[in-house]
Chains A and B, each alone.
Chain A
Amino acid sequence: QTVVTQEPSLTVSPGGTVTLTCASSTGAVTSSSYPNWFQQKPGQAPRALIYSTYNKHSWTPARFSGSLLGGKAALTLSGVQPEDEAEYYCLLYFGGALVVFGGGTKLTVL
């Protein structure tokens, strides 16, 4: 069974920088896994932020960026705002029916 692992929780100060990571039980994450990142606030549907490792949607704030870091997918928030407090999910694609979400990272801005 393929498992995708994220930090359960992280805390960052307003204006600070934080990096969330996404690891695969199968080995190093590469661009071939098309890493995606989603943001979900309480009571809302998830919103796509990053696709295919580092590509942003038109609605994605510039302070969000995606990358590969040390064998993992990474989401970096630079200049964190209070409204960035949310749950963040990564998604990796292993082909066909193997589309796996991470367990989510609860980001607290404090």
Chain B
Amino acid sequence: QVQLLESGGGVVQPGRSLRLSCAASGFTFSSYGMHWVRQAPGKGLEWVAVISYDGSNMYYADSVKGRFTISRDNSKNTLYLQMNSLRPEDTAVYYCAKGIRAVAGTPDDYWGQGTLVIVSS
């Protein structure tokens, strides 16, 4: 069965960096676009970034552009989110999600359980 397992969350000071990982299994990882979506405490969902099946195309929300980098290692079936220059407003549960298409598109399919990032001094 499809599984998406996020890791790497924690407490970090403003201005510092953190890298999230999402280990995928149960499907052909290299065939699908993958997304990061976040949810601040008590708030709604916010789309963060997407990467195409082969890593050739990436898109970011304006709120993270220039600070976050999405990447993938298809040999390890793993998705990453490198988060630099973190701000308190980046505090959220971060979910990885699978698309149904090879290209960018939408996180229409399976979602992980999320990893919590807290940005605080």
Contacts and interface: CB of A to CB of B under 8 A. Distances in A.
Q: Do they bind each other?
A: yes
Interface stretch (B14-22, B24-32, B72-80, B98-106): B98-106
Query: Which of A34, A36, A46, A99 lies at the interface centre, i.e. has the most chain B CB atoms within 10 A of its CB?
Result: A99
Contacts of B106: 34, 36, 51, 91, 93, 99
Interface in B40-58: 44-47, 50
B44 A104 contact: yes
Contacts, number: 62
Of A34, A46, A102, A104, most B-chain CB atoms within 10 Å: A46
B14 to A, nearest CB: 25
Contacts of B111: 45-48
Contacts of B105: 34, 93
Contact of B45 (A34, A46, A93): A46
Interface in A76-110: 89, 91, 93, 96-97, 99-104
Interface residues of A, number: 22
Contact of A45 (B44, B62, B113): B113
A96 B59 contact: yes
A47 B37 CA distance: 13
A16 B7 CA distance: 41
Interface of A: 34, 36, 38, 40, 45-48, 51-52, 57, 89, 91, 93, 96-97, 99-104
Given A48-B108, A91-B107, A101-B37, 19 more contacts: A36-B108, A46-B37, A46-B45, A48-B109, A51-B109, A57-B109, A89-B44, A89-B45, A91-B45, A91-B106, A97-B50, A97-B59, A97-B61, A99-B47, A99-B50, A99-B59, A101-B44, A101-B46, A104-B44
18 contacts: A36-B107, A40-B45, A45-B113, A47-B111, A48-B110, A51-B106, A51-B109, A89-B45, A93-B106, A97-B50, A97-B59, A97-B65, A99-B35, A101-B44, A101-B45, A101-B47, A103-B44, A104-B45
